[in-house]
Chains A and B, each alone.
Chain A
Amino acid sequence: MNLSFSKEDQEFQQEVRSFIEQNYPSEIKEKQDQGIPLSKEDTVKWHKILNDKGWLAVNWPEELGGTGWTITQKHIFQNELAAANTPTLMPFGVNMCGPVIYTFGSDEQKEFHLPKILNGDIWWCQGYSEPGSGSDLASLKTKAEKKGDVYVVNGAKTWTTLAQHADWIFCLVRTDGSGKKQEGISFLLIDMKTPGVEVKPIITIDGTHEVNMVYFDNVEVPVTNLVGEEGFGWSIAKFLLAHERTGIAGIPSLKRELDRLRDITTQIQVGEGSLKDDAMFMSKLDRLEIKLTAAEYTELRTLAAMSAGGHPGPESSILKILGTDLQQELSDLFVEAVGYYAHPFMTEEDLASNESRIGPDFAAPVMPHYLNYRKVSIYGGSNEIQRNVIAKAVLGL
């Protein structure tokens, strides 16, 4: 057992660090550091910078544009990106649809989609949940009926993150309603520009437009856009959920944000001193930091086991629960830290405007973030569902 970085790892860390220093656009960095929401163009720009370097699809097989990095290198890379506060890239193409296509897709699908996922020309969104199908995802009703060489799709998807920016959507659809509910589900790729696709915003409690309803009204999708066989969709969904859960812990960003909160405690005046002198508050921060350290090593142990044994398994459910617990606890500590200045309501437009903010700059995004982050224990399979998964697959219950 040896948990320190080798000389090669240290050199790699230096290489990543200087790459970020030289290539992270200052205008995006400024927005990130001030908590100003990024435009689609900002995110795509950073996506392309990483892809040009060959550092985008870190987990893909090397021959398809992956890096072939060791677990330690991936760990270092994610930590350096997070420490520099680079934009969070949308996971739907690179981390989700890409692996599905190269694992289950046809040659035509691979040839058409993989390059466009890598270079950022196509933005993906995910069509899973439906108004009547949340945690019970397999009960989904969006119907795809085969008519000649097209599927005719009718139904509605919900909670579709950033569908307003997306070019394509990957969907779970029902191709057969007769048997067991899991067996009639298929995985379909749909161009958002197809007639009959309509996106309607859902405004969340933080006042932002992040998620949407997506309606399908007699949408004609070429049968060549089916991934795998008809009825194979549930297996793909399970494959994807395991992939989704590993990154979902967001441990490197949590480390950066915790350090930032420590720094903020010195800037918040309390009487003659600062919040840093408040032992009760600081103790909560310390407890959170220890939990975070434990989660970081739990992730590393899981990754090490994975590299020995292949795919991420149900263990990734633990990381989803731990990571999202930490994200929510930390978002609450930020609110607690800034006190009354969490109360002024700042819209995305207010945050982006040149007008000075009410209260300290760091206070403005805190409450919207806290409110927005109620989502993390609900999405990606709610934490209750994750506990069901662990109970069944790990504990054998």
Chain B
Amino acid sequence: MDFSLTEEQQLLQDSINQFIEREYTFDDRKKFLDSEKGFNEENWKTFGSLGWLGMPFSEDDGGYNGGPVDVMVIMENLGKGLIVEPYVPSILLSGKILADLGSDDQKSNYLHPMISGEKIISFAYIEPQSRFNLSDCLTKATVSDDGYVLDGYKALVHNASASDTLIVSARTSGNQCDEKGISLFLVDANANGVSLRNYSTIDGGKASELTLENVTVSKDSLLGEIDEGFSTIDNAIDLATLGICAEAVGIMGKMNEMTLEYTKTREQFEQKLSQFQALQHRMVDNFMHYEQSKSLLVMCAAKMNDNTEDKKKALASLKYQIGLSGKHIGEESIQLHGGMGVTDEMHIGHYFKRLTTIRTLYGNSDYHLSNYASL
């Protein structure tokens, strides 16, 4: 067994940390958040030229053949910097779907420009009633003369307002929650009948509610086989889950660091907060939560290419733990910062908000615990 990173992975880690240090101060970040797209397009191109965007894709697809451990390294370090550029929704979700199902034409039109940083593609699959169930899909696609007609409503489509193209899941046969009968379509964001209600999310991101009314798409907008989209969605969500868990581990490590630093500085009753044993023990518990989360992250990254059951079990364990430890470290960090912890000015609260949304994203602890039980 070997837990060490390769030299390339260490270099990758260093380059991300250098980028954050030089280009991504909290003031920079605030400017990016306040911009129309909610992130910085120059950064996105930089990610492309540094090879981060192409990491999870094969060389044939124009990528760098990276594996789950590389994804872990990227996301853990992006997490430390609280990066808002849409790596998970665009690369790990839409990119993964395009790589799995895209025809040569679809790849060269969508995947390649995405890898080079010129294109953002969002994935619309959540519906108001679906909660965490990936096979719950009411949005319908019916066959028409020259393609398909889409009708329905999608919730929380991350970064849709920055996307020219969306990938939309729609039911082409079967009942509301059947796995079979879900198909995936490329939809032009400016097509007739597509309307977006854009909003900011609490963690500094951007998302949209998407309404599809009689939206006509051509036959070659279909990704892969008709009715057979589910397993691809499931795989993409698995990779994205690993990604956000790594991001969460990066965030938790950073929050522990900031909390320690704060308690070593702040004085009350003529001593540093860090000298109070009651607080020391709580910071030790935060540290142990971090270590436990990191352990399952590493285990899960190593098992992503194992058989389905082992991989699913590892993912369920990891996301359950992230939910649990994310709540613990998040809430404790705010408490240990005292009143300052609830001010917008301090960085800790911004990390807390992202960590809190990650707890729900792709299924909360209860959902993953029940997945674990069913395996």
B293-311 interface (Cβ within 8 A of A): 293-296, 298-299, 301-303
In contact, A1 and B69 (Cβ under 8 angstroms): yes
B256 to chain A minimum Cβ distance, whole angstroms, is 9
A5 to chain B minimum Cβ distance, whole angstroms, is 7
In contact, B372 and A298 (Cβ under 8 angstroms): no
Interface flag for A26 (CB, 8 Å) = no
Q: Chain A residues near B288 (CB, 8 Å)?
A: 318, 321-322
Given the interface contacts A2-B2, A301-B298, A395-B260, does A322 sit within 8 Å of B292 by beta carbon? Answer: yes
Instruction: Tell me the complex Cα distance, A298–B298, Å.
Output: 10
Q: Which residue of A lies closest to B9 (CB)?
A: A1
Interface flag for A78 (CB, 8 Å) = no
Instruction: Tell me the complex Cα distance, A5–B302, Å.
Output: 12
B369 to chain A minimum Cβ distance, whole angstroms, is 6
Secondary structure class of chain B's binding surface, majority of residues: helix
* Chain A-chain B contacts (Cβ-Cβ < 8 Å), number: 107
B269-321 interface (Cβ within 8 A of A): 274-275, 277, 280-281, 283-285, 287-288, 291-296, 298-299, 301-303, 317, 320-321
Q: Chain B residues near A298 (CB, 8 Å)?
A: 291-292, 295
Given the interface contacts A301-B295, A322-B288, does A290 sit within 8 Å of B317 by beta carbon? Answer: yes
Interface flag for A10 (CB, 8 Å) = no
A171-195 interface (Cβ within 8 A of B): none
Interface flag for A205 (CB, 8 Å) = no
In contact, A286 and B373 (Cβ under 8 angstroms): yes
Q: Which residue of B lies closest to A70 (CB)?
A: B1
Q: Chain A residues near B268 (CB, 8 Å)?
A: none
Instruction: Tell me the complex Cα distance, A286–B280, Å.
Output: 30
B322 to chain A minimum Cβ distance, whole angstroms, is 11
In contact, B3 and A1 (Cβ under 8 angstroms): yes
Given the interface contacts A1-B5, A3-B2, A387-B280, does A293 sit within 8 Å of B299 by beta carbon? Answer: yes
A274 to chain B minimum Cβ distance, whole angstroms, is 15
Interface size on B, residues (CB 8 A): 38
Interface flag for A294 (CB, 8 Å) = yes
In contact, B274 and A397 (Cβ under 8 angstroms): yes
What per-residue 1/0 map shows which CB atoms of B339-375 lie under 8 Å from chain A? 0000000000000000000000000000001001100
Interface centre among A2, A294, A384, A395 (most CB of B within 10 A): A294
Instruction: Tell me the complex Cα distance, A3–B300, Å.
Output: 10
In contact, B284 and A395 (Cβ under 8 angstroms): yes
Q: Which residue of A lies closest to B275 (CB)?
A: A397
Interface flag for B4 (CB, 8 Å) = yes
Instruction: Tell me the complex Cα distance, A117–B127, Å.
Output: 67
